[in-house]
Amino acid sequence: MAESKSPTVYDVAREADVSIATVSRVLRSPEKVSVSTRERVLQAVRRLGYVPNASARGLADRRTGVLGLLIPGHDIPATSRRLPAEDGAPAVVEFLDDRDGRQADPYRNRYFEQLVRGAEAAAWRAGYALLVAAGTSVSRDVVMHDLAGRVDALAVVARTVPDELLRGSIGRTPMVTVAGEGGTGADAVRVDNRGGMSALVRHVLAVKPPGPVLYLAGPPDSPDAAGRARGFHDAVAGQDVPWHTAMADFTWQGGHDAVTAQLEEEIPAAVIGANDQSALGALAALREGGVDVPGTCVVTGFDGIDESRYSTPTLTTVRQPMIDLGICAVELLLRRLADPDAAPRDLQLPVDVLLRTSCGPLG
Amino acid sequence: MAESKSPTVYDVAREADVSIATVSRVLRSPEKVSVSTRERVLQAVRRLGYVPNASARGLADRRTGVLGLLIPGHDIPATSRRLPAEDGAPAVVEFLDDRDGRQADPYRNRYFEQLVRGAEAAAWRAGYALLVAAGTSVSRDVVMHDLAGRVDALAVVARTVPDELLRGSIGRTPMVTVAGEGGTGADAVRVDNRGGMSALVRHVLAVKPPGPVLYLAGPPDSPDAAGRARGFHDAVAGQDVPWHTAMADFTWQGGHDAVTAQLEEEIPAAVIGANDQSALGALAALREGGVDVPGTCVVTGFDGIDESRYSTPTLTTVRQPMIDLGICAVELLLRRLADPDAAPRDLQLPVDVLLRTSCGPLG
DNA sequence: ACGACGACTGTATGCGCTTACATTCAGGCG
DNA sequence: CGCCTGAATGTAAGCGCATACAGTCGTCGT
């Protein structure tokens, strides 16, 4: 079979003995074509294995039918495997001493997998395809530029590319910011850091033993950290509870050290981590200090990383609905494509509080 | 600014006072244009915020510059969140009692995230974009068909779509099968289940206490299970070790029950799970039976799911190099695009054995 | 000084598809 | 029986870009 190149509408038209317009109509608006002709064309399509060329269709349509999703780069190590040599030495199995998990890869929480899945599902549901791009450090602008010409609209995870790029070369492409700061006057979806933390802390205040509360703050330049801190303050404001803040910087060590220092003065009744890592550090410090969790002191984190499910005790935390984030990002794009002049929306998705043993009995 | 529609080469040409051919050349083969003209054109490009239209380029080029990746569907529940109402009731935080992890989502191992990341990185490195599609149950053929018209080549995760679809509508699109059975005469990448299991079992035989070996087999219709079983047999063949097989069906319960039954007859010295789930079940059964792991009996799994890192004891297992799988899939596609007549390759990537405490001291 | 040549730029065509508009034809109506 | 109408189909004009081919002009060799 010398089927050297793909058949086009012309081939189908010839095969079915109709004009190319009719072929196109059969595919795009079948109701405009008589049943008999339609059948004949569809048969020709099948016989030739015709697949419409998306580029041509996109050109004629002035739309690509593709949505873009730009996620932060991952910098796959340069040592990553390439194609083995043709003559292929036999595959060599590597033994890694992984008893403490150090060899585990760094992409701990399935954050982006879920984002991609949600976006993908929502996009296909609406008849769009999803182009995924990771802005690797070297080439953010190139990627961005390339993407802009390929898609009808673009979802960008916050801080993936510099702001001026967002406004610059892609001024005409509808965009939504994902997990950003909001309030930029553009479409945006993010997670309710503030509300989630506030709800969590209110719950803690209701169940914790008597005593002071320690808040393990995140880095000051992080919007997430800021939102969570505000949520914490919302919850403790006006409550008659002693509390103070220590910087943990979103790290295990930070949480560990802050709690260790705290134990020298007074045993806290609750430690609220701005994220899971610092809460896990706190858990370790409390164990070292012989403090019973959750009996004497309850602990909470934020993010819902894997480790929080397996720590001892398991860590109460807040999970971000990443799938929904992806879905909503796409839905916002679809909305804007449908109505370019709609007022920008700034969605805040509610989070899920996962109650686990580190904060004691279920309220 | 009434920048209603995107500027085209014509706009740039007018702005820079050259012909569209020159504009195109500046973008595609700058060395063919004099420095002064090139500068002038680039300025016009920047001034207008011109972004080349990928559809037009693709049409003229007869290539889209896009690679497709088809992964199994995920069936995002229909109840998943949509866009909240415009007037937005305040976000409501949900409290979930997640103390035993039952609420955790089912996408446990970051299998596809890594596959996508690897493919994405390799694709962009080669100047291609990556279109990700999940063949949801309802619409595999539609997705497939749509995809075929959009991409230059396609990587399909095995058993994502029925075979006849693969051969049918997309006959002319270069394809690679990912994680399939191999031996189909087409390009394929997969993981060395057999070699990995064989290496692992050889290691176990070297370190295990004296006594019989129990192999927890996977479902007979799974190519993965078949490969691993063969690897097991490779390793025990000719060794003077008593062994037998029990069906565990890749499930926790299967592993648990098989080991429980075994304990009534004889305490095994090693339990080899065809996957992690069944090995974890075995671990539980051994604990219930008061058997010391790894002192009296060593245990191993296969896959490297999260739980294997956190179990007690941590589970020695085999991790599939998903990132590399993605990279190699793309590299195979690129190779075929470069040379359509190259002989098909059937790659087997080596796996990583993660030595953890469930199999005792490091040999 | 004249033609050849090379560097650069412009003209014009086609990529495969969609669609506005034109055409054809069968009925229905006055 | 002529004319109007509407359904079905055909004709042809782009969509934005790449590029083969055709100039144009300054240089160099003789």
A21 CB less than 7 Å from any atom of strand C:
yes
A 25-54 residues, CB < 7 A, strand C: 25, 27-29, 50, 52-53
Residues B136 and B229 in one domain: no
A101 falls within a domain? no
Q: Which of A67-81, A133-147, A249-263 has the lowest mean pLDDT?
A: A67-81
- What pLDDT score does A351 carry? 92
The answer on pLDDT for A236 being more than 90 is: yes
A90 falls within a domain? no
A216 falls within a domain? yes
Per-window interface: A 236-275 vs B, CB < 8 A: none
- What pLDDT score does B104 carry? 47
| Separation of alpha carbons B152 and B281, rounded Å | 45
With CB atoms and an 8 Å threshold, state whether A54 touches B150: yes
B160 falls within a domain? yes
- What pLDDT score does B99 carry? 73
The answer on pLDDT for A91 being more than 50 is: yes
pLDDT tens-digit map of A198-216 = 999 999 999 999 999 999 9
Tokens of B81: 């969140």
With CB atoms and an 8 Å threshold, state whether B149 touches A53: yes
Which pLDDT band holds residue A1 (cuts at 50, 70, 90)?
very low
Chain A positions in Cβ-Cβ contact with residue B348 (cut-off 8 Å): 91
| Separation of alpha carbons B46 and B48, rounded Å | 5
- What pLDDT score does B94 carry? 83
Give the residue from A46, A278, A316, A344 showing the smallest Cα distance to B168: A46
A84 falls within a domain? no
Q: How many C-beta neighbours within 10 Å does residue B260 have?
A: 16
- What pLDDT score does B167 carry? 63
Residues A274 and A226 in one domain: yes
Residues A27 and A146 in one domain: no
Residues B25 and B136 in one domain: no
Which pLDDT band holds residue B43 (cuts at 50, 70, 90)?
very high
Which pLDDT band holds residue A104 (cuts at 50, 70, 90)?
very low
| Separation of alpha carbons B47 and B315, rounded Å | 59
- What pLDDT score does B18 carry? 96
Number of domains, chain B: 3
Give the residue from B322, B326, B315 showing the smallest Cα distance to B200: B315
Residues B262 and B311 in one domain: yes
Give the residue from A204, A183, A215 showing the smallest Cα distance to A282: A215
| Separation of alpha carbons B116 and A113, rounded Å | 8
Q: Which of B75-84, B135-144, B238-247, B291-300 has the lowest mean pLDDT?
A: B75-84
Average pLDDT, chain B: 88
N-terminal to C-terminal alpha carbon distance within chain A: 71
Which pLDDT band holds residue B226 (cuts at 50, 70, 90)?
very high
The distance (Å) linking the CA of B34 with the C1' of D25 is 14
A92 falls within a domain? no
B143 falls within a domain? yes
Whether B9 contacts chain A with CB within 8 A: no
- What pLDDT score does A165 carry? 64
Q: Nearest nt (C1') to B59 (CA)?
A: C15
Residues A197 and A291 in one domain: yes
B34 CB less than 7 Å from any atom of strand D:
no
Q: Element (H or E) spanning A172, and its range?
A: none
Report the CATH number that the domain containing residue A23 is assigned in CATH. Answer: 1.10.260.40
Residues A142 and A288 in one domain: no
Report the CATH number that the domain containing residue A145 is assigned in CATH. Answer: 3.40.50.2300
| Separation of alpha carbons B326 and A344, rounded Å | 37
- What pLDDT score does A106 carry? 45
B96 falls within a domain? no
User: What percent of chain A has pLDDT above 90?
Assistant: 66
Tokens of B251: 């499930």
Nucleotides of D under 7 A from a protein CB: 7-12, 14-20
Residues B202 and B278 in one domain: yes
The answer on pLDDT for A76 being more than 70 is: no
Residues B39 and B141 in one domain: no
Structural domain containing residue A19: 9-52
Residues B197 and B235 in one domain: yes
The answer on pLDDT for B2 being more than 60 is: no
Which pLDDT band holds residue A134 (cuts at 50, 70, 90)?
confident
Give the residue from A356, A209, A232 showing the smallest Cα distance to A297: A209
pLDDT tens-digit map of A119-132 = 999 999 899 999 99
Tokens of B226: 């078949």
Residues B277 and B337 in one domain: no
| Separation of alpha carbons A120 and A115, rounded Å | 8
The per-residue DSSP string of B326-352 comes to: HHHHHHHHHHHHH-TTSPP-EEEE--E
The distance (Å) linking the CA of B17 with the C1' of D23 is 18
Which pLDDT band holds residue B106 (cuts at 50, 70, 90)?
very low
| Separation of alpha carbons B244 and B239, rounded Å | 13
Question: Phi/psi at B89 (nearest 5 deg)?
Answer: -60, 150
Which pLDDT band holds residue B362 (cuts at 50, 70, 90)?
low
- What pLDDT score does A80 carry? 56
Tokens of B185: 């005469």
The distance (Å) linking the CA of B22 with the C1' of C9 is 7
- What pLDDT score does B88 carry? 61
The answer on pLDDT for A83 being more than 90 is: no
Chain B positions in Cβ-Cβ contact with residue A42 (cut-off 8 Å): none
Q: How many C-beta neighbours within 10 Å does residue A92 have?
A: 10
Coil, strand or helix at A124: helix
What is the number of helices (H) and of strands (E) in chain A? 13, 13
B10 CB less than 7 Å from any atom of strand D:
yes
Which pLDDT band holds residue A137 (cuts at 50, 70, 90)?
low
The residues pairing with A319 across neighbouring beta strands, listed in sequence order, are A303, A352
Half-sphere exposure of A226 (CA within 13 A, CB side): 7
Residues A205 and A308 in one domain: yes
Cross-sheet strand order for the sheet of A188-191: A346-349, A188-191, A175-178, A153-157, A66-72, A129-135, B129-135, B66-72, B153-157, B175-178, B188-191, B346-349
With CB atoms and an 8 Å threshold, state whether A120 touches B107: no
